[in-house]
């Protein structure tokens, strides 16, 4: 079968399954014969387009976006309030289990000695919340609750218990119990791995993780780009035999994983309840994305940034993600996840939009009766003994005393913890340090623009600094 055959088969399995739903009847699913028909009948969508249907599902309605009723909802990467709740029917959870099996079997093909993993496994899932008639939580919490029975004896702590604990208590308990056990596998977001390693080293007074867990063999990472942490984790472990597997998943689905330990890109899974489309060179404005043309996976090209659009067995139909991917090859498809469509600081999972940063800075400055102009933010992990930190560089008409900058940092930090759940979790768990504020002059900005070849009429300081060298320039 060709790539198109695989993907069109997935699409029409989904269409046939949902043709008697409210959405299927509205969009004439029973009449669709080709991918082109589907595109013409179903528009690109965002959460705002299905928010009303999600609320109906929470109230017990059936057959809305997908057959049957749905009582579980994954909290997406929404950055304020409760986030966006996406449906998790049984079909989607079954796909997640198949995805995890693919990851395991892929690894065992490369490392056939299964006894490398024959010890305790540590996982750090999210927390589930029970409501009247439905549950919400991060997708990792639902995944943890569906761990295969044959993996349960290896779990250091029962995952059914972990998903009920507040995040700080999870980490405390893991650190306490892991120190005295033979840990072989750790599954977590890289930032939490770093936090666990640092706490374990501090608690034991040892120099490296290898002294505590000499048989540690595998780290399974997702949620945050591994490349931001990998070298720091390796420095703390001091064991070259430890393997890293990166997965690419979200509340909308699990999509890709690193199937080759010698490569950094990931294999896109094309036969597991997801149909993919891609918007080339997406603009950060969602209104602009909505009118851009999506292409099917069999028409993509390597080296072009694409926003991903998915149709899934959770009842998401041409749903636009906020992620940008690039293909390293197209058949079979392999990808790198490049970042977010909109301007965002997300190096360590904080998902901080530039507009949130601006609002927080404005509120804090007003509260402290100081005036600020332009600003830019970067994030970096300075050395293996530190934790990631945001560096804010602000322009002020008058020089600001270091004590004032410190108060400003604390105020902005407090505001962001109230408005951004991802930022708050990372701060509360010591996975992100208190931000550090510096003042910069217009001359410094001009010098930087000149260095970047951007000193022209419309050249401006970006809200987010992506390069560590740029952070050093302003520090």
| Residues 329-362: b if buried by 16+ CB within 10 A, e if exposed | ebeebbbbbebbbbebbbbbbbbbbbebbeebbe
Assess whether 119 and 253 both reside in one domain.
yes
Q: What are phi and psi of 308, to 5 degrees?
A: -90, 140
Using CA atoms, how far apart are residues 109 and 334, in angstroms rounded to an integer? 19
* CATH number of the CATH domain containing 405: 3.30.300.30
The verdict on 351 and 382 lying in the same domain is yes
- CATH number of the domain to which 195 belongs: 3.40.50
Give the end-to-end CA distance of the chain in Å, rounded to a whole number. 55
Q: Quick one: how many helices (H) and strands (E) in the chain?
A: 17, 21
Q: Is 132 in the same domain as 231?
A: yes
CA neighbor of 325 nearest in space, from 349, 347, 309: 309
The pair of structure tokens assigned to 91 is: 């079909």
Residue 133 lies in a domain: yes
264 lies in a domain? no
360 & 437 share domain: yes
Residue 263 domain flag = no
Domains contained in the chain, number:
3
Render each residue's pLDDT in the chain as its tens digit; 475 residues.
899 999 999 999 999 999 999 999 999 999 999 999 999 999 999 999 999 999 999 999 999 999 999 999 998 854 333 468 999 999 999 999 999 999 999 999 999 998 999 999 999 888 888 999 999 988 988 988 888 777 888 999 988 889 988 878 888 999 999 999 999 999 998 878 888 898 899 999 999 999 999 999 999 998 777 876 787 789 889 998 999 999 999 899 999 999 999 999 999 999 999 999 999 987 655 555 556 789 999 999 998 889 899 999 999 999 998 788 899 999 999 999 876 666 678 888 888 877 688 889 989 999 998 877 678 999 988 777 788 999 999 987 677 899 999 999 999 999 999 989 889 999 998 889 999 999 988 678 778 877 876 543 334 678 888 888 888 899 8
Which pLDDT score, from 0 to 100, does residue 148 have? Answer: 78
Instruction: For residue 68, give its domain range.
Output: 3-87+273-340
Q: What pLDDT does residue 340 have?
A: 67
SS3 380: strand
CA angle 215, 220, 223 (to 5 degrees): 150
Give exposure, 380-398, as e/b (b: 16+ Cβ within 10 Å): bbeebeebbbbbbbbbbee
Locate 226 and state its tokens. 């591994």
CA distances from 351 to 250, 322, 417, 455 (A): 13, 11, 12, 29
């Amino acid at each position: 079968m060709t790539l198109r055959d695989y993907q069109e088969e997935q699409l029409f399995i989904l269409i046939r399954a949902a043709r008697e739903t409210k959405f299927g009847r509205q969009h004439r699913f029973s009449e669709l014969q080709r991918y082109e028909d589907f595109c013409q009948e179903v528009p690109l969508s965002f959460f705002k387009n299905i928010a009303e249907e999600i609320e109906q599902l929470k109230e017990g309605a059936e057959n809305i976006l997908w057959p049957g009723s749905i009582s579980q909802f994954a909290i997406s990467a929404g950055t304020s309030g409760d986030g966006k709740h996406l449906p998790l029917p049984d079909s989607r959870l079954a796909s997640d289990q198949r995805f995890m099996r693919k990851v395991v079997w892929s690894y065992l093909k490369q490392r056939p000695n299964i006894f490398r993993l024959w010890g305790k496994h540590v996982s750090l899932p999210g927390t589930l919340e029970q409501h009247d008639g439905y549950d919400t939580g991060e997708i990792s919490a639902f995944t943890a609750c569906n761990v295969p029975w044959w993996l349960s004896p290896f779990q250091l702590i029962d995952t059914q218990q972990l998903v009920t604990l507040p995040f700080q208590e999870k980490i405390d308990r893991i650190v306490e119990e892991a120190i005295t056990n033979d840990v072989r596998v750790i599954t977590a977001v890289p930032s939490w791995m770093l936090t666990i390693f640092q706490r374990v080293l501090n608690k034991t007074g040892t120099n490296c993780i290898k002294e505590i867990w000499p048989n540690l063999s595998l780290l399974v990472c997702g949620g945050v780009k591994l490349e931001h942490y990998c070298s720091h984790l390796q420095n703390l472990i001091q064991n070259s035999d430890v393997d890293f597997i990166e997965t690419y998943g979200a509340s909308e689905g699990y999509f890709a994983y690193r199937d080759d330990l010698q490569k950094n890109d990931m294999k896109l899974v094309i036969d597991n309840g997801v149909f993919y489309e891609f918007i080339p060179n997406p603009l950060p404005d969602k209104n602009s994305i909505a009118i851009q043309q999506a292409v099917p996976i069999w028409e993509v090209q390597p080296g072009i940034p694409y926003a991903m659009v998915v149709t899934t067995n959770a009842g998401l139909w041409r749903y636009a993600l906020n992620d940008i991917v690039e293909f390293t090859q197209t058949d079979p498809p392999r990808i790198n996840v490049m970042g977010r469509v909109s301007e965002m600081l997300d190096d360590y999972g904080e998902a901080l939009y530039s507009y949130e940063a601006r609002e927080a800075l404005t509120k804090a400055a007003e509260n402290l009766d100081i005036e600020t102009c332009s600003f830019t933010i970067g994030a970096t992990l300075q050395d293996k003994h530190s934790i990631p930190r945001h560096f804010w560089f602000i322009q002020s008409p008058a020089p600001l005393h270091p004590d004032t900058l410190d108060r400003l940092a604390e105020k902005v930090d407090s505001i962001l913890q109230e408005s951004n759940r991802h930022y708050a979790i990372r701060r509360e768990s010591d996975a992100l340090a208190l931000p550090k504020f510096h003042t910069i002059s217009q001359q410094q900005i001009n010098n930087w623009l000149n260095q970047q070849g951007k000193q022209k009429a419309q050249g401006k300081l970006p809200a987010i600094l992506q390069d560590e060298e740029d952070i050093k320039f302003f520090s």
